[in-house]
Structure 1
Amino acid sequence: MKYIRRMHDVEGCSIREIMRRSGYHYETVKKYLDMEDFNLPPQLPKEIPSLLDPLKPIIDEWLENDLKAPRKQRHTAKRVYDRLKEEYPDQLEVKLRTVQYYVSQKKKELYIQKSKGYIPLEHPAGEAQVDFCQFFYYDSANTLKEGRKLTVSFPQSNGAYCQVFRGENQECLLQGLQNIMKHMNKVPYRMVFDNLSAAVSHIGSGKERILTEGFKRFVEHYDIKPVFCNTSAGWEKGNVECKVGYERRNMFVPVPTILNFNEFNKKLFECCQRDMQREHYRKEQLIAELFEADKKAMLPMNPIDFKVARFHTAKADKYGKVMFETNRYSSSPKLAQEAVYLEITSDTITIMDKQYNPVVTHSRLYEKDSESMDWLPYISLMAKRPTALKYTGFYQELPQIWQNYLSDLTPDEKREALLTLNTILQKHDISAAADALEVAL
């Protein structure tokens, strides 16, 4: 082609002369001389007929129907192959590998059409995202337990803090947020949440939310602007969703033993601080340095602490026990059949009398149908009235060895025995008192 054009453009040869010298036909010479566009057209792959072609419409129909099916009940390539073997044995002339390749290509085509596409977002400094997740730990008895981890991440810097609790309720949420804000001595001006029941009592249309009373007072106290994701739209807080898994893989492996949640949460702050001493995945700067910019954009901490507690009224039964949620807590025999007040935090239940005087504080129970018994209020009162002991409801709940022992004593001996039991219970539980009596006898 270059030779033909050179003869024409440089040497001034006519088409007839070029035909004579090159041996090409007139049409060929004329085509090359008239050509202006020398770009090569894209070479489309040639479609080679496949033995699977007759079955492709059937496969397409199955995969298109899968778009309406639950994610975990959709066709795999192996299931497609097995169905073809069962339903179209005479037409299936290919191996599993061919079906796998076609199903893979078809799924990509279908799900690309379905997906909306996403644009990377730039998050402003001082904004936070919040999420709860499940984790497991061993307790003091080396029993595997389920807990809940609260993560607060800061998308601008990719920094984060986490705190752990035995449950996922309003008290745990607010206590975790307060712990983190007090650690930073700063308040994120905007926080993005799921529609968790600890914060939202009703989901209206669009962005309309009715907040729970405790959460509403908390965000007003610290001047936080809460923002809630659309329902089933976890990607709207994608940074914290990723951070939840990262923390679980890097800070909770191997499965930790937690003897004291408050102490463990202090160690988590240290772990999170160390984790910020690595480079941001995209910005080529330490997370800790970027986090300083986050903190500068945050609000100052309210110097007055918000009391993270809920108050609840209840009535003690004839044994002086109180029901809260699904669990029972002891109070005092003098409160039997009386109205009481409960102060509820993430890890304690304090029972108070009508004048709001604390009577007893229990560790909050998170396992259903459990009971917490503090014997001291009962024993100390009965030591003053030993003759009435046998007629009290709580007497039946004493270990059998103590019931048998007390039943054979005189009133004065009962008083002394109950005072001894009271002394033991100052430092030990009732089972230790039963063991001590067994040894003494």
Structure 2
Amino acid sequence: MHALRVLGGVPRGRVRYDNLKAAVAQVLGLSRARVETGRWIAFRSHFAIESFYCHPGIDGAHEKGGAEGQSGYFRRNHFTPVPEVDSLAELNEMVEQWDLHDGRRRIGSRPRTIDEYFAVEQPLLPPLPDEPFETGRVFTPRVDRYSPHSAARTPPGRPTATAMNCPPARPRPLALPSTTAVVRSEAPPART
């Protein structure tokens, strides 16, 4: 979602994917056929994105080389040594600044910068849909007379009468960086 907002549009045609777990429930043999997760199907449908999966293993290594190479460049140049930050928000801000800075560089001996090439392509992107995509899911907790219920949906120890009437819960998505970083935090409180 964030990437599409930064791009200012939706990629046209096929988007090449590795076999990320958020999208692929099962790889079917050595072909490009996949069983996709329900949320991934909803995401692709919302943004009208056609998926194109890389072959698994060594057979598909050449299919995503450019993306892998640029990810490695970013990791080596910005996450080595591993940055120390006080919060995820601070890390995300650092990544945004590094990304803006990287837009001003040239890849190899190419005549233009990354930003110059993108300036040509960006107007060709179809616009983002007016309706935002809901990344979370709504759950309505149910309990029986013995009051077992999911800790993710209803706080444990809640009385049965209260749990039976609890409102729908919407878990919030957690944004994590794609590369590990050290986030400083206070020591957890001692148990009493």
TM-score tier by shorter-chain length is: 0.7 to 0.9
Residues 209-224 of structure 1 mapped to structure 2, 5 A cutoff: 209-224=34-49
Query: Which residue among 158, 164, 186 is the counterpart of 1:333?
Result: 158
Query: Does the 8 Å CA contact 1:315/1:337 hold for their aligned counterparts?
Result: no
Residues 367-386 of structure 1 mapped to structure 2, 5 A cutoff: none
Query: Which residue among 70, 91, 97 is the counterpart of 1:243?
Result: 70
Between Structure 1 and Structure 2, the one with more strand by share is: 1
- How many residues are treated as equivalent by the alignment? 171
Query: Does the 8 Å CA contact 1:193/1:227 hold for their aligned counterparts?
Result: yes
Query: Aligned partners of 1:239, 1:211: CA distance in 2, in Å?
Result: 24
Which residue of structure 2 lines up, in the alignment, with residue 310 of structure 1? 137
Which residue of structure 1 lines up, in the alignment, with residue 2 of structure 2? 179
Query: Aligned partners of 1:329, 1:256: CA distance in 2, in Å?
Result: 36
Which residue of structure 1 lines up, in the alignment, with residue 23 of structure 2? 199
3-state SS of paired residue (2:35): strand
**What letter corresponds to residue 183 of structure 1 in structure 2?**
V
Query: Aligned partners of 1:310, 1:182: CA distance in 2, in Å?
Result: 21
Cα offsets for 1:221-277 (capped at 9, x unmatched): 111111101111232111111122211111113322343324432331221011111
TM-score (normalised: structure 2): 0.72
Between Structure 1 and Structure 2, the one with more helix by share is: 1
Which residue of structure 2 lines up, in the alignment, with residue 156 of structure 1? none
Query: Does the 8 Å CA contact 2:105/2:114 hold for their aligned counterparts?
Result: yes
**What letter corresponds to residue 184 of structure 1 in structure 2?**
L
3-state SS of paired residue (1:323): coil
Deviation of the 1:186 alpha carbon: 1.4
Query: Does the 8 Å CA contact 1:320/1:330 hold for their aligned counterparts?
Result: no
Give the direction of change, closer, same or farther, for the CA distance of 1:329–1:282 in structure 2 (3 Å limit).
farther
Query: Aligned partners of 2:154, 2:83: CA distance in 1, in Å?
Result: 29
Query: Aligned partners of 2:44, 2:27: CA distance in 1, in Å?
Result: 18
3-state SS of paired residue (2:170): strand
Which residue of structure 2 lines up, in the alignment, with residue 259 of structure 1? 86
**What letter corresponds to residue 223 of structure 1 in structure 2?**
A
- With a CA cutoff of 8 Å and minimum separation of 6, indicate the structure with the bigger relative contact order: 2
Query: Does the 8 Å CA contact 2:141/2:149 hold for their aligned counterparts?
Result: no
Query: Aligned partners of 1:201, 1:231: CA distance in 2, in Å?
Result: 14
Query: Which residue among 100, 107, 112 is the counterpart of 1:280?
Result: 107
Query: Does the 8 Å CA contact 1:320/1:332 hold for their aligned counterparts?
Result: no
2:148 is the alignment partner of 1:323: no
| Structure with bigger gyration radius | 1
3-state SS of paired residue (1:344): coil
Deviation of the 1:298 alpha carbon: 1.8
Residues 11-160 of structure 1 mapped to structure 2, 5 A cutoff: none
Query: Aligned partners of 1:245, 1:329: CA distance in 2, in Å?
Result: 42
Give the direction of change, closer, same or farther, for the CA distance of 1:334–1:260 in structure 2 (3 Å limit).
farther
Deviation of the 1:314 alpha carbon: 4.8
Which residue of structure 2 lines up, in the alignment, with residue 374 of structure 1? none
Query: Does the 8 Å CA contact 2:141/2:154 hold for their aligned counterparts?
Result: no
Give the direction of change, closer, same or farther, for the CA distance of 1:244–1:280 in structure 2 (3 Å limit).
closer
Cα offsets for 1:27-78 (capped at 9, x unmatched): xxxxxxxxxxxxxxxxxxxxxxxxxxxxxxxxxxxxxxxxxxxxxxxxxxxx
Which residue of structure 2 lines up, in the alignment, with residue 188 of structure 1? 11
Cα offsets for 1:141-198 (capped at 9, x unmatched): xxxxxxxxxxxxxxxxxxxxxxxxxxxxxxxxxxxxx011112221112321112221
**What letter corresponds to residue 217 of structure 1 in structure 2?**
A
TM-score (normalised: structure 1): 0.34
Percent identity of equivalent pairs: 25
Query: Does the 8 Å CA contact 1:314/1:323 hold for their aligned counterparts?
Result: no
Deviation of the 1:337 alpha carbon: 8.4
2:126 is the alignment partner of 1:299: yes
